[in-house]
Amino acid sequence: MSKKRLLLLSNSKNYGQGYLEHAAPVMKDFLGSANRVLFIPFAGVRVSLDDYTSLVRSRFEEMGYLLDSIHEIADRREAILRAEAIAVGGGNTFHLLRALYELDLIDAIRESALGGVPYTGWSAGSNVACPTIRTTNDMPIVEPPSLDAIGLVSFQINPHYTDFHPPDHQGETREDRILEFIEVNADVRVVGLREGSLLRIEGDGINLLGEKSARIFLKGEEPREYDPGESLQFLLNETEN
């Protein structure tokens, strides 16, 4: 039986709410009795690591958790292996993944998460939990050594998924881009995770949380909407770590 405990968020902030406010009740239930959370802030680009950490630390302290940022720690790999819980923040996914490679942290995060250490991430932090970051929305402002990511799930996530298409805009929709992805990655499912939505994985179980449906894509099948409460077990019943 899998020991994985993952909470993967589409976004960090809903309209009219504070930072992580929409996810705080679920996140607190998910983290449970953990005392300290280890934060990985490297997706931040136009914010300093200290300022990003301060923002996230304030929210976690309100939830009752102490938060340490990995950039403040000398032995980062050891900190991951000893962490009670891991939180990976959003920002630019390419920037985040390059840092994880440069600091040699990917294997340590995978080992901890597969061993049962709670892992939560939002936006870019959800992207890197996937096999690759190829379904991110971000511009490749830097070039990581590989697009391969941590691989805590076998499917891909597209955070901030939206059906909106501006009037008279002739560019691709989000669905168009995902359909291109599955055209050349025929055996990979993509979960379009709308803002305010979360995927919670506990061992061999998975639940879609929030008020919005998720749109799931696979080559050869029509994209399908799944509502919160509907079974997504097929996502975990396919090849998993």
Nearest Cα to Cα of residue 62 among 91, 37, 98, 94 = 37
C-alpha to C-alpha distance for 46 and 23, rounded to whole angstroms:
24
Active site residue 169: no
Task: Determine which one of 10, 112, 123, 197 is catalytic.
Answer: 123
Nearest Cα to Cα of residue 218 among 192, 240, 236 = 192
C-alpha to C-alpha distance for 178 and 175, rounded to whole angstroms:
5
Active site residue 160: yes
Task: Determine which one of 12, 71, 95, 138 is catalytic.
Answer: 138
C-alpha to C-alpha distance for 118 and 205, rounded to whole angstroms:
14
Q: Residue 3 is encoded by which pair of tokens? A: 């020991």
C-alpha to C-alpha distance for 213 and 121, rounded to whole angstroms:
19
Chain centroid, CA 100 distance in Å: 14
- The 10 Å CB-count burial string (b at 16+, else e) for 126-149 is bbbbbbbbbbbebeeeeebeeebb
Active site residue 138: yes
Q: How far is CA 182 from CA 27, 90, 134, 203, in A?
A: 31, 24, 11, 27
Radius of gyration (C-alpha) of the chain in whole angstroms: 17
Could you tell me if 209 and 235 are in contact, meaning their C-beta atoms sit under 8 angstroms apart?
no
In 103-241, which residue ranges form alpha helices assigned H by DSSP?
106-114, 124-127, 174-184, 234-237
Instruction: Supply the residues annotated as catalytic.
Output: 123, 138, 160
